[in-house]
Structures are given as C-alpha cells and as structure tokens.
Amino acid sequence: MKLTTAGESHGKCLVGIIEGLPSNMPVDIQFINSLLSLRQSGYGRGGRQKIERDEIEILSGVRDGKTLGSPLAFAVVNRDYENWKPYMAPEGADTSCRRLTRVRPGHADLTGMIKYDTDDARNILERASARETAVRVAAGGIAMCYLKRLGVCVSGYVRSVGGVRDDGEYAFEELEEAKKHPLFMLDGRIEAEAMAAIDRLKEEGDTAGGVIEVRVKGLKSGFGSCMQYSKKLDALICSAVMSVQAIKGVEIGLGFAAAQRPGSAVHDEIFLKDGRPCRATNNAGGIEGGMSNGEEIVVRAAMKPIPTLMRGLNTIDTATGLAARAAGERSDVAAVCACEIIVESVVAFAVAEAVADRLGGDNLREVEERYSLLP
C-alpha cells in the first residue's frame, strides 16, 4: 500500500492517491469526514478553521461505496482558494503580491528558499504548511476502514499541552472520550490548567506544543520484520509520525524512560495463560524486534510549538538583508488536537502498509481469510 500526496496550502485543493487497496472494501465517507472535522477542532485554533470545512471527494477507485482494486484518488478542496486565486493560480498569478521574505525561525522558509532557488518563501511555505496534513488524515481514515475489517482499531488522546501534563493511565476503550473534550485530554482538571496556559500564551503572542499518545489495539503478532531493517514496524511507524509537520520526537512504549531503568524493570516477562504466551506488562509498546507482538501498540509524539508567532521572532528579511521581525501568517496558538488526529491517521496508514505487505490479497475476502488464519 502506498500514498502519494500533492497540493498547496492556498492552492485549488489537496490530492492523494492510494495504491494497493483490495477490491470490495467499504469506504465510510462519513467517518473520514468526521476525522477531517476533528482535525479542524480544538482549543487554541486560528481563523483558517472558520473558512475551511474539509470534506473528502473521491475521484476514482471507488464505486457504490466500495473499492475497485485500482488506485484510489481523492481530493480535499481548499475553500480559501477563491481569496488566493489572484496570487496562486497555476494559469497565471501576481507573484509580486503576498510575497514572504521575512523568514520565520522554526519553519521551512529560509532553508527551502536556498534549496529550491527562490526569492519568495511563499513557494516553500505553501507546501511545507501543516495544511498538507488534511489529505493525510483522509488517507488515514481510509486505512482505518481497511484495518477495522480485521478488528484492528486506532485511537489516542493528548497527554500534555504547553508543559501541563496528564500522567494518568487509561484503557483503550476510554480514549475516544477525549474527542469530546476541548483539548482531547481525559482529566478535566488538568485540561482546564492547559487551557489557561493557552490563554496566557495567546495574550503574549506566543504558541504551545504538546505530547500525543496513539494506540493500536487488535493487531496480531508478526507484522513488520526482524530480518529487513526497512520493514521494522517501529521504524515504519516512527518514520510516518516524524514526517508530520512540527513533530520533533517519537517513542514506542517506555521510549526514553527505558534508558533510565534497569533491564528487570523494562523487559516484559513472558508467561503461559490458557496454553498461550502472554505478557503482564507492555513496556515494549507492542513491538519487539521490529514486529508486533500482539499487545497494544503505544506511540507517543512530541509536537513543537507552532513557529508562526503573532509577536514575531528575530530574523532577517531576505529581500533587504536587514534584521527584521518574522512575518505573521494567520496562525493558531495551539494545534495539539489537530496533531493528535493527524498522528492517529499516519500511524493507521503505516500499520495498514505493514498488514498489506504481509497479507497481500487482491480483494477484501482474501485479506480477511488470510488474517483469520494467523495465530
């Protein structure tokens, strides 16, 4: 299974093509649109979310709600394009307007301008923008439709925002409740603290990051590989999560905490229960030796604060070579809820890739039968 995306933040639309889906797989458009809506929600979001109302439009590869086995092409239209058409139209545009030369620290602006030989950061930020993740959420929703047919579910919540942490432990079944909360946090008292922190940052023209936890439940053992490094499941998942804009750290299971403990407090001991091997703990986060071990997969991602600050940071203007304050595109104070949905989506797609790689199958019946035969 493979995903290719294209599109700019203020262009006509974002598009994606998924190859490798089996035929006869139901595609739940309403569910995918609900994910896109959640991506636009959350406390601390900016004005762009009032303009866009993201929905998936299937272009090919689906008939009567089911996949055909051919590449599935889809789009998420940018409603704001009508306001930007004079400056972004591929047929011809006024590129002298909406130029950006006061490059933003922490963004792709300056490095991208040098790499792609342009004097306008607009050409860089339009693709580097987190707006691109809308199409990856849509793809993740399609991957979840695939995984659900096998009894595999993906969910998550926000563990911290702006340094306000929730160190509680929650059952998988509790995680979806987070989506009903303003910051996707499960402890109301801690969430109220985090919201107050966002309010303070907004007054100061600053931004907040956070930590997201995503889990995968129901995946059988043996997906991934210990034989080929490029097929290690944790490597595939971490690569997918690190490809999300603003993510600066990823861990599986205990992650970095494992380095602080003795081995006896890290490795999950194995026992027999009803004649089958089992583990009393899940410090490995469901992956051992690059393969799923049948336990819940636990992924945490660290999101840096949004690099576009309303007050601006010290930088240079590449047009003049003089010191300046960074440009302020319309921005959020915190987009951790959006990031949580995005991380869920890319984890789902990475897991679906590993499942498809092992099971193959040209149609859904073959996939389901092959999965059912696994121990």
Instruction: Dump pLDDT digits (tens) for 22-38.
Output: 999 999 999 999 999 99
Confidence of residue 45 (pLDDT cuts 50, 70, 90): confident
> How much is the pTM?
0.95
Position 332 pLDDT exceeds 90: no
Rounded Cα distance between 16 and 6, Å, is: 6
More reliable by pLDDT, 330 or 165: 165
Rounded Cα distance between 277 and 295, Å, is: 11
Position 48 pLDDT exceeds 60: no
pLDDT at 330: 60
Tens digit of each residue's pLDDT (9 = 90 or more) over 250-278: 999 999 999 999 999 999 999 998 888 98
Phi-psi region of 163 (alpha: psi -120 to 50; beta: other; left: phi over 0): left
Domains of the chain and CATH, by start:
2-372 (3.60.150.10)
Q: What angle do CA 291, 297, 302 make, to 5 degrees?
A: 115
Position 329 pLDDT exceeds 80: no
- Give the C-alpha distances (Å, rounded to integers) separating 139 from 14, 33, 165, 342: 12, 11, 30, 10
Judge contact between 146 and 371, C-beta under 8 A: no
Position 50 pLDDT exceeds 70: no
pLDDT at 205: 87
Residue 152 in tokens = 């595999």
- Give the C-alpha distances (Å, rounded to integers) separating 349 from 1, 100, 145, 215: 9, 34, 10, 13
6-15, 220-229, 311-320, 353-362, range with the lowest pLDDT: 311-320
Three-state SS string across 132-171, please? HHHHHHHHHHHHHHHHHCCCCEEEEEEEEECCEECCCCCC
No. of H helices and E strands in the chain?
A: 10, 17
- DSSP letter at 218 equals S
Q: Name every residue whose Cβ is closer than 8 Å to that of residue 75 and which is 6 or more positions away in sequence.
A: 13, 14, 15, 16, 56, 57, 59, 135
Rounded Cα distance between 366 and 363, Å, is: 6
Confidence of residue 346 (pLDDT cuts 50, 70, 90): very high
Tens digit of each residue's pLDDT (9 = 90 or more) over 282-323: 999 999 999 999 999 999 999 999 888 887 889 999 999 999
The H-or-E segment that residue 359 falls in is: helix 336-359
Tens digit of each residue's pLDDT (9 = 90 or more) over 148-193: 999 999 999 999 999 999 999 999 999 999 999 999 999 999 999 9
Position 4 pLDDT exceeds 80: yes
